Structure 1
Amino acid sequence: MPAQWTADQVLALAPDAASAKSGRGLATRQKWISLGQQQSVIWGECQGSGKNPYQAQIDLSEPAFRCSCPSRKFPCKHGLGLFLLLAEQPGEIVETDPPAWVTEWLASRSQRAEKQAEKQAKRQEQVADPIAQAKRVAERQRKVSAGIQELRLWLDDRVRQGLATLPQESYQMWDTIAARMVDAQAPGLARQLRELAGIIHTGADWSDRVLERLGRLYLLIEGFERIETLPTVVQTDLRTQLGWSLNQEEVLTGQAHIDLWLVVGQRAEEEERLRARRTWLYGIATHTFALLLDFAHGHQPFEQNLLPGTYLEAALVFYPSAYPLRALIKTRQEAVVLPKPPPGIQSIASAIDTYSQALANCPWLERFPLLLQNVIPRREEKGWLLQDQQGVVLPLSRRMDATQGWQLLALSGGYPLSVLGEWDGTFLTILSVWVEDSYYGFGN
């Protein structure tokens, strides 16, 4: 069982700040009636306001949580408190035989895993009717083509009129054409159009950013109109941008990449009760990045929980792309903690060169992972920067508030540190920081 979980890694799993604060309050031995552990499972009973104590348990191999409390948050404050207690006072949780309520939970988890594996195997064995599938693809291609032609005319009109009048236009203008793209079965285009509407009122340089996005839309249109002449992976990238989704079972039939993967960063975002979480992995042997996407509605838990700063031996399968980043876990072992920061690119110039090469292969990359070593945070009038030893600087995200900026500077103490961030072509959003052998999360 890992012996070096940190409080930052545990708190990164909290669904919100209130849960993190409440969990911190329960991270003391006096709050627990009983505690125990066996191999990779820990459990405890915490007395709450009710007659019976709440039973919390954690399978550290994922980690996975369960608690008998009525909270709809996941993990709840009891799970967080128990995990924090393990991270900060591991000697308080003694090795013992698990009670019945723990063994029953483990047995049910094992049964669910077996059933899920059986269902997945059956789905992979089923062969879809190729004729019916070809008809569905052709019908969607027809609808998307009609929508693409309508979007081209709309964009021509916008550019012909110029961008200066856009701030006076209502949101309805953007929403109408976006809704038309949804009808044309191209939801990816609808998302980009609605994002464009939000850029117009976000700073003095809005026109440059709008023009860049319009150019990418034109590139999508040009690519789709000659899609049959392009390489297969480029066709897949185009369809993904338009909103075509690939079946996970189909993806998992691809080549598996086995490595020791470091969970280098994580960020969760919420929009209209749909929570999305991006988890970045880095292959130690292959020097490859992988992106795992998880989605959950409301307070429902994410399907998988990976702690930044931990390692896991796993086989990943990447989604087809001209520059593969998104992946699925096919098989995995228990996560472990190693007292070692990840290797990184030494200079910012080298990192941007890597990004440029990736963008040449796939111009649709919205976020690109940059793992930088020996950089120092700086504060200037326009915002926060990272500077490498060659004096090259990289601007940090405008969304970084003053507290995070000063926290980053305090962690560095004026000395170089290692960071993992998402680069969007203009700004870097920091997700993780390593100071010597210690990990700190900035992802939420």
Structure 2
Amino acid sequence: MPADTPGHWTTEQVLALAPDAASAKNGRGLATQQKWLSLGVHHPAVWGECKGSGKTPYRTQIDITEPAFRCSCPSRKFPCKHGLGLFLLLVEQPQGIAEGPPPDWVAEWLAARKARTGPKGSSEGQDKSAQKSPSASRDAKAQAKRAAAREEKIKAGVAELRLWLADRVRQGLATLPQESYQFWDGIAARMVDAQAPGLARRLRNMAGMAHTGDGWCDLMLAEWGRLYLLLESYGRIETLPPAVQADLRSQIGWTLTQEEVLTTTAESDVCSDLWWVLGQRTEEEAKNLKVRRTWLQGDASGKQALLLEFAQGHRTFEQVLPKGSGIQAELVFYPSTYPQRAVIKTRQEGISETQTPSGQGSIETAIAAYSQAFTTCPWLDHFPLLLMAMTPIRVDDRWLLQDAQGVVLPLANRLESDANWQLLALSGGHPVTVLGEWDGTELMPLSVWVKDEFYGLSN
């Protein structure tokens, strides 16, 4: 890549990649050539050595095609301030970065990335597969044997949970607020032993429902009803259509890997489009396990897609996506009665300028779309609502969104989140476009567009 053509990135888009405001500020402080001992660029990478507090400079490198970052600094943030500073230099001062061959530490990183993400289905790969066919056959038999053993464990776990659930229903719900966390964790642990982590997750989520205040009984009963539906359906999974089977296995916790999705999907089912990155939310799902949901919408297809990523311990998420902007990519959707989760198959270099995406102009229309999706697949825990011309309001300590017809939608009242206050401040009390996650009872706002300007909200 010539030093004077840093792609389609802008300063605002680079800063939008920052994990927090402090990282953005510190990255801005490093966007000066005096902070760097060396700088270089050669498509698709840019690299540099940044002065640190010690004798050894921090080696920072970026693969612009993703973008992907790597830095030798000890920061747990991703991208770190050095990556942001180097990216800002490339965008704002490309003439100051010399074109030339990458050093060994950059070339090795690029080669390793290429090896991990190389083209699938090439003739070379097919030849190697053919050469290993006896071993592959043995592996397939062993895999089938393991799958059968897991199926038996899951069936036993499902049967145990059905008895436990029936017993609890006979006793009623009144005593649940007095139950300790161990009451729920005990049966959840047995589901983990049965290799059904999805059931364990649902049970642990129920543990806090009895302490959510007024209306907890309705929430608990609805969740128990969904759990009973899941158990009854899994008991006759062989009689159900393939898409329903896929949903049930996913809810049990038997999910496909990204590799399996990519290799088993027909080329005709690959969805190529300009995908707008609508919003993103990161949560801690379990101890030392973070999950990040990124919502996309196709410019031509209008499809909405969910990219789901996990990070264990201090590890960071691998993908860096420019929130509020667009990427040209091919997506493959996981099998489902309502395909929502997807994985990126290929992605082109460069991004498109931010613009306000098209959404729904009334709350009634949006909820009708959700209801239809929920009827198709009752396991939708999170559903993206892209709402246009919505005014945030606060009534008696309750946050609401109001459309032009006066219909209101409740916003999530979470003390640890400043999203609602940010939304109100950015709107100035005027109608704006809002993207949020709807869980069936309330909306968690993730993004807002004000006069074609994108803003990500804290959550």
Q: TM-score when scaled to structure 1?
A: 0.89
Structure 1 residues 148 and 70: alpha-carbon distance in aligned structure 2, compared to 1, 3 A threshold: closer
Alignment CA distance shift 1:5-1:397 (3 Å): farther
SS for the counterpart of 2:412 is coil
Q: CA offsets, 1:379-430, max 9 Å, x none?
A: 1114211111111111111226574323212211222211111110011111
Q: Which residue of 1 aligns with 2:272?
A: 258
Between the aligned partners of 2:436 and 2:452, the Cα distance in structure 1 is 18
- Once the two structures are superposed, residues 288-319 of structure 1 have per-residue CA deviations (whole angstroms, 9 ceiling, x without a partner) of 01111112223323222112112111111110
Higher mean Cα deviation, 388-397 or 334-343?
334-343
Q: After alignment, is 313-322 or 29-38 more displaced?
A: 29-38
Deviation per CA, 1:4-42: give whole Å up to 9, x if none. Answer: 53547635442x565445335445666556666666654
Q: Is the Cα contact below 8 Å between 2:423 and 2:457 reproduced in 1?
A: no
What residue ranges of structure 1 are gaps of 5+ in the alignment?
none
Is the counterpart of residue 94 in structure 1 residue 95 in structure 2? yes
Specify the SS of the correspondent of 1:420.
strand
Alpha-carbon distance, 1:206 to partner = 1.8
Matched to 2:274, the amino acid is L
2:217 maps to: 207
Displacement of 1:114 in angstroms is 3.5
Tell me, yes or no, if structure 1 residue 75 matches structure 2 residue 79: yes
Which deviates the most, 303-312 or 354-363?
303-312
Cα-to-partner distance string for 1:334-365 (whole Å, 9 max, x where unaligned): 13131421111111111111111110110000
Q: Which residue of 2 aligns with 1:424?
A: 439
2:198 equivalent to 1:193 = no
- The question of 1:294 aligning with 2:309 is answered yes
How much has 1:64 moved relative to structure 2? 1.5
Correspondence for 1:162:
172
- 3-state SS of the aligned residue for 1:335? coil
Q: Does 1:404 align with 2:414?
A: no
Q: Could you tell me whether the CA contact under 8 Å between 1:423 and 1:429 is conserved in 2?
A: yes
Query: Are the structure 2 counterparts of residues 83 and 382 from structure 1 closer, same or farther at C-alpha, using a change threshold of 3 Å?
Result: same
Deviation of residue 95 (structure 1)? 5.5
1:343-382 → structure 2 map (5 Å cutoff): 343-382=358-397
Where 1:176 maps in the other structure, the secondary structure is helix
CA RMSD of aligned residues (A): 2.8
In 2, Cα distance between equivalents of 1:137 and 1:52? 50
Instruction: Give the distance between the partners of 1:344 and 1:291, measured in 2 at CA.
Output: 17
Q: CA–CA distance in 2 between the matches of 1:76 and 1:198? A: 35
Distance 1:136 1:51, change over 3 A: closer
Choose the corresponding residue for 1:153, options 158, 163, 182: 163
Q: Following the alignment from structure 1 to structure 2, what is the Cα–Cα distance between the partners of residues 6 and 367?
A: 32
The amino acid that maps onto 2:454 is Y
The number of residues matched between the two structures is 439
Distance 1:248 1:402, change over 3 A: closer
* Equivalence for 2:228: 218
For residue 190 of structure 2, the aligned residue among 180, 191, 197 is 180
In structure 2, runs of 5+ residues without a counterpart are 1-5
CA distance in 2, matches of 1:387, 1:85: 42
Correspondences of 1:10-159 after superposition (within 5 Å)? 10-14=15-19, 18-27=22-31, 31=35, 41-83=45-87, 90-94=91-95, 96-98=97-99, 102=102, 104=104, 106-117=106-117, 121=121, 122=125, 125=129, 132-159=142-169
Per the alignment, residue 437 of structure 1 pairs with 452
SS in 2 for 1:50: coil
Q: Tell whether the 8 Å contact from 2:276 to 2:325 is kept in structure 1 after alignment.
A: yes
The 1:96/1:22 distance shift into structure 2, 3 A limit, reads closer
The verdict on how the C-alpha distance between 1:390 and 1:27 changes in structure 2, with shifts beyond 3 A counting, is farther
Partner residue, 1:233: 243
Return the alpha-carbon distance in structure 2 between the equivalents of residues 340 and 38 of structure 1. Answer: 30
Report if the CA contact (8 A) 2:434-2:448 is conserved. yes
Distance across 1 between alignment mates of 2:109 and 2:58: 20
In the alignment, structure 1 residue 312 sits paired with structure 2 residue 327: yes
Counterpart code for 2:369: T
Deviation at 1:94, TM superposition (A): 2.2
Q: Distance in 2 between matches of 1:171 and 1:8?
A: 44
How far did 1:155 drift? Answer: 0.9
Flag the 1:419–1:30 CA change in 2: closer, same or farther, 3 A: farther
